[in-house]
Chain A
Amino acid sequence: MVKAPHIVKLDRATGQRQIIANHWLRLAEAADDAVPPHSLLPLKEWLERRDELIGRADVGIWFAPDDEPEALGSDAAQLAIIAVEFPAFTDGRGFSIGRLLRERYGFTGELRAVGDVFKDTMLYLKRCGFDAFEVRADKDVEEAAKGLDDFTEYYQGAADQPLPLFRRRSA
């Protein structure tokens, strides 16, 4: 069964977007045996099997809102994909997780927001370093993608544009 495409994927270099289907399976718990390809493991599970999994490009991590990027540390730089869960869009902890992964721990792979994701949170997510947005299945994904265009200028620096406006204003 192929899930309906509902992921907005952003090319951070060019700003181009496409709508793609999901190929990653989020596991609530890792099995003790072999981890299948295209698995996203909970942070805790991944950390327990770190030495076995660190080299695998087809295994990623998903963060719950109270998981700490500090626990992953610089290993983040070697991962292909990390998903961050937003159980409700009003739970803003994932924004800080995104920025920490990008700005402090050198994560350059796909940073995916999952959960209560729709048009009105897209731009904040992008600014915090997310480049993949698993839009809620009951929302129109094309419409949601337009949320990325709500603003074209920002005051503060963030993951997508580290320089605050005051450094660009005077440039």
Chain B
Amino acid sequence: MYIYDDYDQRIVDQRVAQFRDQTRRFLSGELTGEEFRPLRLQNGLYIQRHAPMLRVAVPYGHLTSKQVRMLAHIARKYDRGYGHFTTRQNIQYNWPKLEDVPDILADLATVQMHAVQTSGNCVRNTTTDQFAGVAHDEIIDPRPWCEIIRQWSTFHPEFAHLPRKFKIAVCGSVEDRAATWVHDIGVHVVHNEAGEVGFKVIVGGGLGRTPIVGAVIREFLPQQHLLSYLDAVLRVYNRYGRRDNKYKARIKILVKAMTPAAFAAKVEAEWAHLKDGPMTLTQAEIDRNAAFFTAPAYETLPAEDAGFAQLRSENKAFARWVERNVFKHKVPGYAAVTLSLKATGVAPGDATDAQLDAVADLADQYAFGEIRVSHEQNLILADVKQSDLFAVWEAAKKLGFATPNIGLITDIVCCPGGDFCDLANAKSIPIAEGIQRVFDDQDYLFDLGEIDLNISGCMNSCGHHHVGHIGILGVDKSGSEWYQVSLGGRQGHDASLGKVIGPSFAQDDVPGVVKQIIDVYVEHRQDDERFLDVFDRVGMEPFKTRIYAKERAHG
């Protein structure tokens, strides 16, 4: 875990003072609403449907138990007793008072947290794999690189007012769990043939109105050049990205218009001037950051704990939870546990102050005091002894966090939608709940296996519906809420965008449509084929035929 030194603390403290002054000037009329807007957005403060919404940064999804207790405190003191974890590894508060925000930031600063650049047209919070540092398939730990990027991007003077928002994700494992192919920049930490560390750089991916899978613009960037190269990419974007139309302002549009090859050439030309300059990383700085992400004090344990194996064989419910919510750890005898924030009837990603406090306690007792946030809106205890899994399960059950559904159809990724978000065209939380209720039979749910279901309440795609195996998008049709369904999307190294199945559906019909999709899958499944495998084999037609059969019958 990165720990602030005096410099980091001073920067965050000065930010609190700056924002306090900006808020004061807005409230006194010295700053107009139009002037204040970009300033508050760069501090994660939206003016929303019910109240301001404050988005707090959780850099690359890492939290200490002390920080989680502070998040609980803020939920309790300034909000309505809960917070919402987003698909970008942030936490949002839906009900703060504008006048309180400077005090909230001051409280956050005491635990080395902030809301810097969680919104606005600047470089956003860098995201990564929730299992970074512990994943069995990890090649290189991405976290030091995330921290290096965090510092570089914080109040970057040249890129404070980009054409649009800018999101960077980093991945260092075989499987891509950070959706790097659908970010403005995706960074893969890799080795070259000589065994040196560097980066494969992907640019121009993104979801939203114009979903695009990014293109590789550099196969291998030696590690010391990361920041000068990022400067070059951002400079090209800042100068040439479109500013006349906000829907065409993301870097993906520029890359597409120029072609990835021409864009890459432009970046290389810019980088030629910056390469080996002062932003070239030093080994000392790389080592300094890496030193914060060392392994905790693991015990030497057998690969398989006997007591755990026995409990698993005796207790079906525990075994199910282990199968879905426990991830293979690289250290023998340990496991990473996902606490599901996807219980039926609770908005996906929501946690109350009491739950947050309890998670902090769990982390202290069983997981070296550390908590992670995933972009699928769940919480993770990354380092749990196998012998403690049963106790963690029991505790998680009491908290409502033990729903054994990670990676299953009810582990729905969902934006706040029209219930909370001003941008939304349609509600998404009730849709999620409706679908969860259809799949309430656990045996059936388990039998269905891996299915990513993602819901967005509008084209901005905060619910990443394009990369859901089943994606649902709320659309506005002459003032009423409709839902478009797509199939076949995915977010890993084989990232691709779902295809729309056909005309959209009314809210009440959505759970039934999802049920029909699943029925078609089950009927076509051979052996233990996954949903995606079946879809790739049989294509859209059987799904389409079933769902629209009635309409066709009526002519």
Residue of A nearest to B161 (CB): A92
B281 proximity list for chain A (CB < 8 A) = 166
B507 within 8 A of A: no
B31 proximity list for chain A (CB < 8 A) = 120
The interface-forming segment of A8-16, A32-40, A72-80, A148-156 is: A148-156
- Check if A96 sits within 8 Å of B239, measured CB to CB: yes
Distance of B541 from chain A, by nearest CB (Å):
47
Residue of B nearest to A86 (CB): B161
Distance of A24 from chain B, by nearest CB (Å):
25
Tell me the complex Cα distance, A96–B25, Å: 28
The interface-forming segment of B150-158, B301-309, B385-393, B435-443 is: B150-158
Distance of B234 from chain A, by nearest CB (Å):
9
Distance of A61 from chain B, by nearest CB (Å):
18
The interface-forming segment of B103-111, B190-198, B282-290 is: B282-290
Question: Digit string of B1-28 for contact with A (CB within 8 Å is 1, else 0)?
Answer: 0000101001100110110001001000
Residue of B nearest to A170 (CB): B284
Distance of A87 from chain B, by nearest CB (Å):
10
A150 proximity list for chain B (CB < 8 A) = 14, 17-18
A164 within 8 A of B: yes
Tell me the complex Cα distance, A64–B122, Å: 22
- Check if A153 sits within 8 Å of B161, measured CB to CB: no
A71 within 8 A of B: no
B273 within 8 A of A: yes
A155 proximity list for chain B (CB < 8 A) = 11, 151-152, 154-156
A63 within 8 A of B: no
Distance of A69 from chain B, by nearest CB (Å):
10
A140 proximity list for chain B (CB < 8 A) = 30
B277 proximity list for chain A (CB < 8 A) = 157, 162
A93 within 8 A of B: yes
B279 within 8 A of A: yes
Which residue from B10, B14, B152, B288 sits with its C-beta under 8 Å from A156? B152
A128 proximity list for chain B (CB < 8 A) = 157-158
B243 within 8 A of A: yes
B516 within 8 A of A: no
- Check if B157 sits within 8 Å of A95, measured CB to CB: yes
- Check if A165 sits within 8 Å of B7, measured CB to CB: yes
Which residue from B22, B38, B238 sits with its C-beta under 8 Å from A96? B238
B66 within 8 A of A: no
Tell me the complex Cα distance, A99–B31, Å: 28
B160 within 8 A of A: yes
Most chain-A CB neighbours within 10 Å: which of B17, B38, B239, B282?
Answer: B239
- Check if A90 sits within 8 Å of B121, measured CB to CB: yes
B544 within 8 A of A: no
A167 proximity list for chain B (CB < 8 A) = 278, 282, 285
Tell me the complex Cα distance, A32–B61, Å: 61
Tell me the complex Cα distance, A140–B285, Å: 42
Tell me the complex Cα distance, A144–B16, Å: 18
Knowing A123-B157, A124-B160, A158-B157, the reply to whether A152 touches B10 (Cβ < 8 A) is yes
- Check if A151 sits within 8 Å of B161, measured CB to CB: no
B235 within 8 A of A: yes
- Check if A92 sits within 8 Å of B155, measured CB to CB: no
A154 proximity list for chain B (CB < 8 A) = 11, 155, 157
- Check if B278 sits within 8 Å of A164, measured CB to CB: yes
B379 within 8 A of A: no
- Check if A164 sits within 8 Å of B279, measured CB to CB: yes
- Check if B160 sits within 8 Å of A92, measured CB to CB: yes
B162 proximity list for chain A (CB < 8 A) = 92
- Check if B7 sits within 8 Å of A157, measured CB to CB: no
Tell me the complex Cα distance, A166–B35, Å: 33
Tell me the complex Cα distance, A120–B277, Å: 29
B505 within 8 A of A: no
Tell me the complex Cα distance, A170–B288, Å: 9
A118 proximity list for chain B (CB < 8 A) = 35
Distance of B512 from chain A, by nearest CB (Å):
45
Residue of B nearest to A150 (CB): B18
Question: Digit string of B71-107 for contact with A (CB within 8 Å is 1, else 0)?
Answer: 0000000000000000000000000000000000000
B420 within 8 A of A: no
Knowing A91-B243, A96-B239, the reply to whether A151 touches B18 (Cβ < 8 A) is yes
- Check if B11 sits within 8 Å of A156, measured CB to CB: no
- Check if B158 sits within 8 Å of A92, measured CB to CB: yes
B39 within 8 A of A: yes
B159 within 8 A of A: yes
Most chain-B CB neighbours within 10 Å: which of A99, A156, A163, A165?
Answer: A156
A89 proximity list for chain B (CB < 8 A) = 35, 38, 161
A143 proximity list for chain B (CB < 8 A) = 30
Tell me the complex Cα distance, A108–B529, Å: 67
Distance of B225 from chain A, by nearest CB (Å):
14
A127 proximity list for chain B (CB < 8 A) = 157-158
Distance of A158 from chain B, by nearest CB (Å):
5
- Check if A170 sits within 8 Å of B238, measured CB to CB: no
Could you tell me which residues of chain B, from 127 to 184, have a CB within 8 Å of some CB in chain A?
151-152, 154-162
Question: Digit string of A45-64 for contact with B (CB within 8 Å is 1, else 0)?
Answer: 00000000000000000000
Distance of A115 from chain B, by nearest CB (Å):
13
Tell me the complex Cα distance, A137–B151, Å: 35
- Check if B238 sits within 8 Å of A166, measured CB to CB: no
- Check if B11 sits within 8 Å of A151, measured CB to CB: yes
Most chain-A CB neighbours within 10 Å: which of B11, B160, B162, B285?
Answer: B160
Most chain-B CB neighbours within 10 Å: which of A120, A127, A154, A170?
Answer: A120
A104 within 8 A of B: yes
A-B contact pairs, 24 of them (CB 8 A): A89-B161, A90-B161, A91-B243, A92-B238, A93-B239, A95-B158, A95-B238, A119-B25, A120-B31, A120-B35, A128-B158, A140-B30, A143-B30, A151-B15, A151-B155, A152-B14, A153-B11, A156-B151, A156-B279, A165-B151, A166-B281, A166-B282, A166-B285, A170-B285
Using a CB–CB distance below 8 Å, which chain A residues touch chain B? 89-93, 95-96, 99, 104, 118-120, 123-125, 127-128, 140, 143, 150-158, 162-167, 169-170
Taking A151-B18, A158-B158 as given, write out 9 further A-B residue pairs in contact, using a Cβ cutoff of 8 Å, ordered by the A residue number: A90-B121, A95-B161, A125-B157, A152-B14, A155-B155, A156-B152, A157-B279, A164-B227, A170-B288
